[in-house]
Structure 1
Amino acid sequence: MRMNDSFNKILLWIGGVLFTFLIALIGYGLAFIPGFNRLGQMSCAIILAIAYRQIFGYPRQIQAGIQFSSKVLLRLAIVLYGLKLNIGLVLSQGLGLLLQDAIIIMSVIIVMMLLAKRLKAETSLSLLLAIGTGVCGAAAIAAASPILKSKDEDTALGVGIIALVGTIFAIIYTVVRPFLPISPLHYGIWSGVSLHELAHVVLAAAPAGQDPLAIALLAKLGRVFLLIPLCFILMFWMNKNQMSVSATSKSKISFPWFLIGFIIMSIIGSYILGVYIPVSPTFNATMTQLTTFTLTMAMTGLGLNVNLHDALTKAFRPLLAMTFTSILLSIATYFFNY
């Protein structure tokens, strides 16, 4: 009898993982359709997951598999994301941009949280959006949320909002670019230091040419690089806050071991693959697709936790604060790099 129970649990766990895989796959397919391609597969999958939750409710029978996707696969995706970071390129050619990126990240988080306080926005979601806006979008939110002990609902909302707003900003950049009195190179830097995700940077900078795109990605990779120290700062801050809340409390934030994996994969991608081990463009493209799809499965699991009515009430003010912050970031970095 116990064996049958264990077997059923395994089947339900597999069912949960496959369920997130199926929704992620549908989201991947939708991303090829004009209009939906602006959102990307991750946003499409989150929208589908949230819609499913509102119509059919949360599928509790397969909860274990869904939680595996939203927690374990989330950390795996962050580890794989490390391959996108070329440490050598950032350190050798982008030290000036790295300093600018550090100032931008600190400024964005401070301004965003001040606006959130002013607007009386929900603090947890606002902080996730501030980190996503300042660093590298969904990947930054996914990396920071376990350290901040954010609710799954807040993480999913943060990723959905950052993808939507970032896409809108990237499209606006491409529209206004021909009318701006700025060189293609400076336009690339501006895109890299101000837009939310790597995909948004590519969307905005690619029409300007290969050189602007290259410098845009370099500027953006500097912000990705700074995700590592930021996460350790957040961990220290969370531990300090917990200790100050209660002198008798001994609970601490668990060490984010997935960040070690992120660093290791960054080192492998920067100094081993392509240097000592030949890799083809096909391999790089495949790893990028695998990383994005793994993160999409994780976000699908998180999206199933979203109660849309509560989310809309909670998200409006953080969204407002993030929009104002993003506008200020675009204006400030434009004139700074002009």
Structure 2
Amino acid sequence: MVKEFCQKWGKRIATPQMLVIAIVTLAASFIGAWLKQYPGLSLLGALIIALIIGMIVQFPLRKWYVGSDQVRAAGVKDAAGLIANKLLRLGIIMLGFKLNLDVLFTTGIKCLPLAAIIVALTVVVTYAICRWLGVDPLLAILVAGGTGICGAAAVMGISGSIKVAKDREEEKSNDEVIAVAIVAIMGVVFALIELFVGPLTGLTDTQLGIIAGGSLHEIAHAVAVGAALGPVGEDMAVIMKLSRVLMLVFAAIIIAIWWDKTKSEVKTDGKRKVAFPWFMLGFIIASILGTFVPFIRVAAPVLVDIAYIILGMAMAALGINVNFSVLLHRGRNAMIASFIASILLVLFVTLLAVMFF
């Protein structure tokens, strides 16, 4: 079995197209990490910038590298798909080093139950609105997860929990990109709204930080808005946001079971096969090690930086395979649903912030 595994993956990795895509996605990831330091681009964050670069790069790749060579085209698609799939899981596992459980279970102890309520309600409501607007169930649950939990990482984490029939794998890849694009746009829009409207509400920095961490989609969005609130607001925004990130583990497992019971098309010997998200356990293990093992705790910031580089490569690879016609046609109603849900999310989190902080 080990020999067969090595032969299978060895053949897929040892191709010229894999080397090309690896270099391109690594460059996109580093560029995204560099550009995120600039005002405005910091609201997008390194992962979304890498995704955009991947979407742009696909055109020169097709023109100057692939051309009319069908074998090379298939190799590029396969290489990008492999990088997006495998590195995404590795990146999410390593992102666990960012989650300091000691801080969450002390300073942020009040945030954890609120995060569970926020995530559960937002995912359910967003999914319901998507389905009401006629959005396909797979795209609906990906948008719901991205809106309710932690943006792109949630979309890809939940996607990794869901298995589809082989003839729908390309559709699933397209839905991943659509969902990531939607939560990125919504995150930027609502981050700008909170940046300009928040100080006018008369709420405290702590309350505004809770609202930012509890309602914004990406970690980058919460950090950007929190930084404008001062040290207290920034700390609360980060703690609240990381509390929602922790919920990704439970959400991915619950959604995997729910999908298997109600939507799954994948069967083995007449029985359904649950796509249990084992990599989420790696996320928890990494957070435990990063919190309680001294030498790993010291190295955690570097490990998190590496995680973002790996995730950036995965996002760029995802962008390389995006189908723009599908993105434009399938994403409209899902974006409307996410917009409505994001408004409800901000209002609900504001109420919680006023009541408990």
Give yes or no for TM over 0.5: yes
**C-alpha distance in 2 between matches for 1:133 and 1:109:** 7
**C-alpha distance in 2 between matches for 1:19 and 1:332:** 42
1:122 matches 2:136: yes
**C-alpha distance in 2 between matches for 1:55 and 1:278:** 41
1:254 corresponding residue in structure 2: 275
Secondary structure at 2:91's aligned position in 1? helix
1:12 matches 2:26: no
Deviation of 1:179 after TM superposition, in Å, equals: 0.9
1:133-186 deviation line (CA, Å, top 9, x unaligned): 111111111211111237122112222221222122112211112211211111
Q: In 2 relative to 1, CA 96–27 (structure 1 residues): closer, same or farther, beyond 3 Å?
A: closer
**C-alpha distance in 2 between matches for 1:156 and 1:215:** 30
Match of 1:103 among 97, 117, 139: 117
1:314 matches 2:319: no
2:196 corresponding residue in structure 1: 175
Q: In 2 relative to 1, CA 246–138 (structure 1 residues): closer, same or farther, beyond 3 Å?
A: closer
1:113 matches 2:127: yes
1:69 matches 2:74: no
1:191 corresponding residue in structure 2: 212
Query: Residue 313 of structure 1 aligns to which amino acid in structure 2?
Result: H
Q: In 2 relative to 1, CA 116–63 (structure 1 residues): closer, same or farther, beyond 3 Å?
A: closer
Secondary structure at 1:226's aligned position in 2? helix
1:135 corresponding residue in structure 2: 149
**C-alpha distance in 2 between matches for 1:295 and 1:178:** 33
**C-alpha distance in 1 between matches for 2:199 and 2:28:** 38
Contact 1:16–1:64 (CA<8 Å) still a contact in 2?
no
**C-alpha distance in 2 between matches for 1:43 and 1:122:** 24
Deviation of 1:100 after TM superposition, in Å, equals: 1.4
Count of aligned pairs between the two proteins:
329
**C-alpha distance in 2 between matches for 1:203 and 1:138:** 17
Contact 2:290–2:296 (CA<8 Å) still a contact in 1?
no
**C-alpha distance in 1 between matches for 2:296 and 2:259:** 41
Contact 1:153–1:303 (CA<8 Å) still a contact in 2?
no
Q: In 2 relative to 1, CA 32–286 (structure 1 residues): closer, same or farther, beyond 3 Å?
A: same
Match of 1:38 among 32, 37, 43: 43
Query: Residue 58 of structure 2 aligns to which amino acid in structure 1?
Result: R
Listed as ranges, the gaps of 5+ residues in structure 1 are: none
2:69 corresponding residue in structure 1: none
Q: In 2 relative to 1, CA 309–6 (structure 1 residues): closer, same or farther, beyond 3 Å?
A: closer
Deviation of 1:313 after TM superposition, in Å, equals: 0.8
Query: Residue 146 of structure 1 aligns to which amino acid in structure 2?
Result: G
Deviation of 1:199 after TM superposition, in Å, equals: 1.3
Secondary structure at 1:92's aligned position in 2? coil
Stretch of structure 1 that moved more, 322-331 or 228-237: 228-237
1:293 corresponding residue in structure 2: 309
Match of 1:205 among 206, 226, 230: 226
Listed as ranges, the gaps of 5+ residues in structure 2 are: 1-9, 67-72, 165-171
1:277 corresponding residue in structure 2: 295
